[in-house]
Amino acid sequence: MALLWREGSIHAIDGKYPDNTSNFDKEKIEGDGLSVIQMSLAPNVLCEMSTITKETAKELWKSLKGFTRTGQ
């Protein structure tokens, strides 16, 4: 979460974009957020998540929250 804040990509998972955010900027934030999450994962978690197709940072974030709760 801290990396998403630092990189300015937190809106990719909370969906609370400022009103004046262009579609281009939203797409960039989304891509940056997805990259930040993926690069932060341990190799074994990244491999597990890569078998589950997630197209957005928010979808991946939700999957990871479920992944850690089940103790996998």
pLDDT profile of the chain (72 residues), mean per 10: 90 92 95 91 80 77 72 49
Domain ranges of the chain: 2-69
Contact present, 32 and 12 (Cβ < 8 Å): yes
Q: What is the pLDDT of residue 59?
A: 87
Q: What is the pLDDT of residue 51?
A: 60
pTM value is: 0.77
